[in-house]
Amino acid sequence: MPFNQKNNQGYRREFLKFLAGSPLLTSYSAFSQEVEETLGEKLTNPGQVINVFEMEALAREKVPPAHFGYLISGVDSDTTLRANREGYTRFQIHPRRLVDVSGPTDMSVNVLGAEARSPIFLSPIGSTGGFHPDADVGAARAAAAKGHHMILSTQASSPIEDVVQARGEGSVWFQLYSTDRWEYTEALLRRAEAAGCTAVCLTVDLPGGRNTETSAVLARGDDRFCEECHYGQAKPIFDGLDMQGVGLVDAALTWDVIGRIKDVTNMKVLIKGIEVGPDAALAVQYGADGIILSNHGARATDTGRGTIECLPEVIAAVNGRIPVIIDGGIRRGTDVFKALALGASAVGIGRPYCWGLGAFGQAGVERVLDLLNRELAITMRGSGTPSIAAIGPDYVQDVGHRVPRGTLGRDIL
């Protein structure tokens, strides 16, 4: 059943009016402006949005509550979700002055043969059709327009062939959840390779389920009949496969899976979901071509550790042998800069581009990419680093403690 955005905004306005009139609320004036106008009514064009946090606020108004809850949720008490953001405050930038940065800022990267105009990759997100009908194809068109590399989820809403066509061959990698039947996993790999994907990213951080409480709480505010859309629906990558009784997770996987994947595909193999140095070393030892340092956007184990805090030990363990990509909590160009300075070859964003998608479809994703690229370019020029290659460890320092949430400026929008 399509979600009625107007009703959602109406509900929100009524709720704010109720709050404004409540004796519990002491400062009516602070609320009165919002009562008159929601952010969605104020910002009707993606070009008016000034940062990804505003895009999140807009998506919150437009995306059905249960779907928005699915998007923003971490696990348990969202401790790791906060750590992914706060972790970045541990690292401070050391800018250098009087460097000629008058030329164009070169943000291009080449990771395992994938060329991109920006080091910001689109991380794999399942069920993007729940945020906007443009879904993965819309995100791919935005990525193509702005020159970003994209990783497509096993749980994507759009068929992989359509996404590769929209983004262009060589610029989409396939994220794999191995099923518990190897012949099915092989079938997925074959389809991804035939579609034109040049690498597969095996996600290894969800072997045992997860507890997404924020998602459950927001779903309570959604009275639509979920089964009407969700019942018995397999994602497009499973078309032609009888999924009856097939599990989407294989909890028995061990490191030899890298070799087994390599036996059936010529795609490069990256392992997504590595968080500690010893695992990074094992990934190299077992032949992985790359690592995605990720905690699934704080949706797997509630470790309490931000991914950026894991990066130094992973980089040290890998010791330059294979590229490391990091995702989780990246919301600013300065975050991208810090990750690159600590040794990442590229970074991934998940929720931010989905907020753009939820708010404005493809145009919203383009705006999110523009905003982050602009912030990164400003940071690079401001730090005296006109190219990605120039950004090194001297430009960042670990001060050893985080700045708590609530003092992160616009993050609290």
Whether residue 83 contacts residue 304, with contact meaning beta carbons closer than 8 Å, is answered with yes
Both tokens of 86, joined, read 């706060």
Residue among 103 and 208 whose Cβ is closer to ligand FMN? 208
Q: Residues 214, 78: contact at Cβ < 8 Å?
A: yes
Q: Are 167 and 148 in contact (CB under 8 A)?
A: no
Burial of 102 (0-12, 13-18, 19+ CB in 10 A): exposed
Stretch that binds ligand FMN, among 16-24, 117-125, 384-392, 405-413 (CB under 6 A): 117-125
Token pair 């940062």 is found at 51
String of contacts with ligand FMN for each residue 53-92, x by CB under 6 A: -----------------xx------------x--------
| Count, residues in the chain | 413
Spatial distance between the Cα atoms of 339 and 393, rounded to a whole number of angstroms: 10
As beta bridge partners, residue 346 has 325
Check 67, 94, 296, 401 and give the catalytic one. 296
121 binds ligand FMN per the rule CB under 6 A: no
Among 49, 125, 135, 195, the residue binding ligand FMN under the rule CB under 6 A is: 125
265-304: which residues touch ligand FMN (CB under 6 A)? 272, 294, 296-297, 299
Binding segment for ligand FMN (CB under 6 A), chosen from 46-54, 323-331, 358-366, 374-382, is 323-331
- Closest to ligand FMN by CB, 35 vs 121, is 121
Cβ neighbours of residue 121 closer than 8 Å, sequence gap 6 or more: 148, 149, 150, 151, 325, 327, 346, 347, 348, 349
Residues within window 183-212 making contact with ligand FMN, judged by CB under 6 A? 203
Q: Is 124 in the site for ligand FMN (CB under 6 A)?
A: yes
Residue with nearest beta carbon to ligand FMN = 350
Touching ligand FMN, residues 156-175 (CB under 6 A): 175
By the 8 A CB rule, do 309 and 84 touch?
A: no
Closer Cβ to ligand FMN, 198 or 385, answer by number: 198
**Residue 230 is among the residues annotated as catalytic for this protein:** no
Stretch of residues binding ligand FMN (CB under 6 A), selected from 15-23, 183-191, 322-330, 373-381:
322-330
CB of 23 to ligand FMN, least distance (A): 38
Residue 322's nearest CA partner among 249, 268, 383 is 268
Positive or negative CA dihedral for 38, 42, 43, 49? negative
Query: Cβ neighbours of residue 180 under 8 Å, at least 6 residues apart?
Result: 246, 247, 249, 250, 251, 252
Active site residues: 296
Binding site for ligand FMN (CB under 6 A): 70-71, 84, 123-126, 153, 155, 175, 203, 272, 294, 296-297, 299, 327-330, 348-351
